[in-house]
Amino acid sequence: MDKSVNLYVVVPCYNEEAVLGETSKRMLELFDKMKSDRLIDDKSRIVFVDDGSKDKTWSIIDTLAKEHVEIAGVKLARNAGHQNALLGGLMTVKNDCDCAVSIDADLQDDINVIPEMVKNYIDGYDVVYGVRNKRDTDTVFKRTTAVGFYKLMQIMGVNIVFNHADYRLMSRRALDALADFPERNLFLRGMVPLVGYRSTSVYYDRNERFAGESKYPLKKMLSFAFDGITSFSISPIRIISTFGAAVCVISVIMAVYALVEKLLGNTDSGWASLMMSIWFIGGVQLLSVGLIGEYIGKLYKEVKRRPRYIIEAYVNERE
């Protein structure tokens, strides 16, 4: 290896006063080791992003940054949410680094695979996903909801890496490409695969949060899942259209049935016409809603103004 890598580790923190001391200690130890292995250079940094915390998080980060040259802090003006804080951190550091790793402050994700991520970067990978081997330490509830979530996303046609959260390494050019995604509803683990470039995964066992509480209560988790689906897929609209078409078909069957019953004299007066109109109008209404939804879906895709392509290489480019 000719040159060591300039690595930035970005850590979003929301009310993490209980974990920051331990987290920074473990991170610094890892940095020392990677430096002595000549994997990363002296300008590498650990950047804590304070996402508008209400506790002492920022003053701890501030002190840490004064004590250690390796540590830097970014303070957001208000709580912007995990995804926004993470993107904010990555975009702040992207022009200073060769590659950046994002990781949660609670170290549930094993930092000891960071050297492996960096080695993959040196081998030419632009994106390295950290993937959980198993979820023994999560509660049964968290585990089943998480697995259900990944399955649902796949059914909805969103391309995400199974059991990968936001623990990943991205090269500078992958970060530059990510910067071209102008959308406001962030769902990074769905966006990064859209960037493309060569990617790979490293595997690790997920630990328990060693201090503090989860900042993702059920309400936030549900809204995150809902955002993920609605930001990436218009399948819900398609489901309405399909349902509407199905009801229209059923309405024909019901019409035949109602007519037959009427001809056989088994019906009260008015029943057949009511039956037929309820089914028919119901089907037409659903189909119409779905159709309008299709246009809204198209609008919605346009409004996002995502890049249509990302060029990976241009061979023989003139000076």
**Which residues form the interface with ligand UDP (CB under 6 A)?**
12-14, 16, 51, 79, 81-82, 85, 104-106, 108, 214-216
Quick one: what does residue 237 bind among Mg ion, ligand UDP, none, with the CB cut-off 5 to 8 Å set by partner type?
A: none
CA atoms within 13 A on the CB side of 110: 18
CB of 206 to Mg ion, least distance (A): 9
Encoded tokens for 115: 């050297």
Q: How far is the CB of 86 from ligand UDP (least distance, A)?
A: 7
* Structure-token pair, residue 293: 């939804």
Query: Which residue lies nearer to ligand UDP by CB, 167 or 232?
Result: 167
Q: Kindly state the smallest distance separating residue 10's Cβ from ligand UDP, in Å.
A: 10
Closest CA to 194 of 203, 183, 205: 183
Q: Which is nearer to Mg ion, 221 or 310 (CB)?
A: 221
39 phi, psi to nearest 5 deg:
-85, -40
With CB cut-offs between 5 and 8 Å by kind, which of ligand UDP, Mg ion, none does residue 163 bind?
Answer: none
Locate the DSSP E strands across the chain. 7-13, 45-50, 71-75, 99-102, 127-132, 164-171, 199-204
From the CB of 23, what's the least distance to ligand UDP, in Å?
9
Q: Which does 71 bind (CB under 5 to 8 A by kind): ligand UDP, Mg ion, none?
A: none
- Identity of the residue, 183 or 213, whose beta carbon is nearer to ligand UDP in the bound complex: 213
Cβ neighbours for 254, distance < 8 A, ≥ 6 positions apart: 275, 276, 279
* 112: nearest Cα among 33, 21, 188, 181: 33
Q: Do residues 108 and 23 make contact, with C-beta atoms less than 8 angstroms apart?
A: no
Nearer to ligand UDP, 41 or 55 (CB): 55
Residue placing its CB nearer to Mg ion in the complex, 217 or 270 = 217
Sign of CA dihedral 171, 174, 180, 183: negative
Taking the complex as a whole, the smallest distance from the CB of residue 127 to ligand UDP amounts, in Å, to 20
> Which residues of the chain form contacts with Mg ion (CB under 5 A)?
104, 106, 108
CB 10 within 8 A of CB 100: yes
* Least Å from the CB of residue 233 to Mg ion: 26
